[in-house]
Structure 1
Amino acid sequence: MIVKNTYGTSVAFSVRTFGVVPDKEFTGSSLERKKKEPEPEDNGDEAKPKPVKKKEGKPKMRHLSRRSKQKIRKKIQCFSRCYKRLSFVTLTFLNKVDDEQAIILLRKFLDNAKKRSEDFQYVWVAERQTKNDEFKGNVHFHIITNKYWKLEKWWNYWIDLQKKNGIVPRDENFKPSSAFDVKQINASNIKGIGSYITKYVTKNKAKFNCQVWNCSKRVSQLYTDFYTSMEYLENFEKLNAIRGQFEVKDTMNRPIIKVKSIDLNRQTLPLYKRLDEKNKIKPIW
């Protein structure tokens, strides 16, 4: 069996059953994506990209799939290993806003932050408001970033950005402090970061008429998994760090998948050093 590892989870799978032998030790980075080459036309010239046809009817609503939630969790955990401190930012709106308009404003906000910040990295996720009765169902955004925010400056900018784009409060003097909320996160507390992920990402079942999540290019380039032999798991067993496990067997009662949940602490985190080093030595940071 071969083991695929990420922070806190190890999945051993049968090569005999799945017929997959990874040719690389690390995976999960956007750098691995193969670029599609245009097919040449009959006249020998390079093929021009075909125009995208717009589909008629109602737009397809998007949601966070199980696979997306797993990917977000992994990206944030690897992101946190590259910086000592992170910020958790929540952006809410002054009035009712549709999803498409909200995503445009989010992009403008992030673009401005990029221009004014060196090495600005982030992961954002959309969520629906449930506690605000006036704007119930309004989209808002959670962002985990490596930036230190000057609260008053960026709060005022977010308020003004909304007003300039037609989102005005019912009361002209209404400038809620919660519109731009920032919490500092100790990046070394990987369990604390995990609690944010669980609260705002894994329980998110809402549907949106816009993109549901995204991250900066450098975060997308982070490797999130690495392969080892079964002997690697013995390290966690010796530390008594396996919190839970389950397995899937074939018709002959042979295990084909074994999933182990690992306790992340000062003793176990050094065992992920190869993933930390892989992400740090890349020329993206």
Structure 2
Amino acid sequence: MIVKNTYGTSVAFSVREFGVIPKEEFTGSALQRKKKPPAEKNSNEKTTPKPKPKADKKKEVKLRFLSKRSKQKIRKKLICFARCYKRLSFVTLTFLNEVSDEQAVNILRKFIDNVKKRSENFQYIWVAERQTKNDTFKGNIHFHMITNKYWKIEKWWNYWLDLQRKNGIIPRDENYKPSSAFDVRQLNSNNIRSIASYITKYVTKNNDKFKCQVWNCSRQVSELYTDFYTDSSFVDEFKKLDAVLKEFEVKDHSNRMIINIKMINLNRQTLPLYKRLDEKNKAIPN
């Protein structure tokens, strides 16, 4: 059996059943993606131009949502992100008026690009969500963003509002400047439970559909390793600490166990056992 571990979860699986032996100890980083070689062009080969789509046919917009796999990936990235910084900020960005999904994400990208230019080592994860409590703009898209940045709220609040106006989001009332449009809360990254509660509230339960990208993160966050492989002796340490919260198995037709999943309680005793993953991520150059 080989065990694939991430913060709070250990999955033991049968190599005999899956036929997969990991080549590296760590995984989950964008640094491990294989780059496709550029396609070679044959000078003698004639290329046939693609026919242009007819103007009268509207392109069907495919709605996007957070898949189960995406939610798991965000959870892993966010906890690894939190382990690299002592403090994080939770930012909620809302709009002054009704806005389309495509327009909203375009304004968000402009905002992030400006923050990058004016901030050193700005790292982030953002997730889209629908408004439910605001009856005036019910269903309007807004964004939650976790960052490693200390925000000068007055400065960035005004910039966020001005950016909306410059991109056609005009408030119904000329004097409408809601402080909630740029809301910032400080997070203590040492408190894994508080980080997990944000993941559950804004990611795990998010089943909204959008006409735009649903989430994204900075390059350095995408490069964080989220998992590592061990043998079963690693999980035995959690058993000794009585830190296994749940355990369940998947068996084959012969009633042989092929997957064993353990949910681990993350606390002061168990977190040091993930030190190898912390050190691997902190060694990634900025």
Question: Structure 1 length normalisation: TM-score?
Answer: 0.95
Determine if the alignment matches structure 1 residue 186 to structure 2 residue 188: yes
Alignment match, 1:115 = 117
Aligned-partner residue type, residue 221 of structure 1: E
Q: Alignment partner for residue 204 of structure 1, among 203, 206, 212?
A: 206
Shift of residue 175 of structure 1? 0.7
Aligned-partner residue type, residue 17 of structure 2: T
Alignment match, 1:176 = 178
Alignment match, 1:144 = 146
Shift of residue 43 of structure 1? 4.3
**SS of equivalent to 2:221:** helix
Alignment match, 1:3 = 3
**SS of equivalent to 1:62:** coil
Task: Give structure 2 stretches of 5+ with no counterpart.
Answer: none
Question: Structure 2 length normalisation: TM-score?
Answer: 0.95
Q: Equivalent residues in 2 for 1:34-53 (5 A)?
A: 34-43=34-43
Q: Alignment partner for residue 99 of structure 2, among 88, 97, 100?
A: 97
Distance between the aligned counterparts of 1:211 and 1:130, measured in 2? 20
Alignment match, 1:23 = 23
Shift of residue 44 of structure 1? 8.8
Alignment match, 1:223 = 225
Distance between the aligned counterparts of 2:52 and 2:82, measured in 1? 40
Distance between the aligned counterparts of 1:210 and 1:51, measured in 2? 26
Alignment match, 1:268 = 270
Aligned-partner residue type, residue 19 of structure 1: G
TM superposition outliers: structure 1 runs of 4+ over 2 Å? 38-45, 50-57
Task: Give structure 1 stretches of 5+ with no counterpart.
Answer: none
Determine if the alignment matches structure 1 residue 74 to structure 2 residue 76: yes
Distance between the aligned counterparts of 1:44 and 1:237, measured in 2? 66
Residue deviations 1:43-79 (CA, integer Å, cap 9, x gap) = 499xx9x989889521111000000000000000000
Distance between the aligned counterparts of 1:172 and 1:233, measured in 2? 60
| Closer, same or farther: CA 138–152 of 1 in aligned 2, 3 Å | same
Distance between the aligned counterparts of 1:264 and 1:194, measured in 2? 10
Aligned-partner residue type, residue 107 of structure 1: R
Alignment match, 1:243 = 245
Residue deviations 1:58-108 (CA, integer Å, cap 9, x gap) = 111100000000000000000000000000000000000000000010001
Across the two proteins, how many residue pairs are aligned to each other?
281
Shift of residue 191 of structure 1? 1.2
